[in-house]
Amino acid sequence: MATRRLSLLLSRSLSSTSFQAASLLHSLGRNSGKWGNFNRFSTAAAVEDLITPQVPITYTKHLINGQFVDAASGKTFPTYDPRTGEVIAQVAEGDAEDINRAVSAARKAFDEGPWPKLTAYERCKIILRFADLVEKHGDELAALETWNNGKPYEQSATAELPTFVRLFRYYAGWADKIHGLTVPADGNYHVETLHEPMV
């Protein structure tokens, strides 16, 4: 439902110039009496109606040890729609304790979880699967990124998300390929490259 709604609202073509100009006019209209009439321009109103996603996001937690959890302190902070100044959601406010919990969980998973027992090819398949999921939900992710940052939707959808997917697929392909170049050093030195698996 969220994907279809976001796609309907945001996948229509908007040039970067028109988006930024309309956002600027809207901002000036809200924040300055001198330019108060600018927010009546039809361009700004049309863009405002078009790019306001209706996504049911009210609170986001930390993902630690495979679970979504509150901050240890219980604190949150608001994240804003930079175009309107309205609150999008309340986000868990992490501190040193949350960082320690996350690092400890990640270290334990890396040492004792299923990942170190997987072959390089199996790891490759997992990373490729992740890239596939990002690509599948690209419209929704691009819309959320645009909403959170106030950038043109076209930038998120046609540049950032596709680049992310390509990078993950590229590095997934290296998981089972071990080779490289040993560069000699000047002077009376012996240089060698030792390949060791990342446990």
Per-residue pLDDT at 46? 40
Q: Residue 182 has what pLDDT?
A: 77
Rg (CA), the chain: 23
Determine the pLDDT at residue 140: 87
Angle at 162 between CA 160 and CA 163, to 5 degrees: 65
Q: CA 36, CA 46: separation in Å to the nearest integer?
A: 17
| Per-residue pLDDT, 54 | 56
* Model pLDDT, residue 4: 36
Give, for 62, the enclosing helix (H) or strand (E). strand 62-64
pLDDT given at position 38: 31
Residue ranges of the chain with pLDDT lower than 70? 1-56, 58, 180, 198-199
Q: Which residues have C-beta within 8 Å of that of residue 109, sequence separation ≥ 6?
A: 65, 115
Question: What's the pLDDT at 55?
Answer: 60
Helix (H) or strand (E) holding 67: strand 67-69
**Residue 90 bridge partners (DSSP):** 59, 78
Contact in structure between 43 and 15 (CB atoms under 8 Å): no
Q: How much is the pLDDT for 167?
A: 97
pLDDT confidence of residue 199: 58
Q: What angle do CA 64, 65, 68 make, to 5 degrees?
A: 45
148 Cβ neighbours under 8 A, 6+ residues apart? 79, 81, 88
Q: Whole-angstrom Cα distance, residue 106 to residue 113?
A: 9
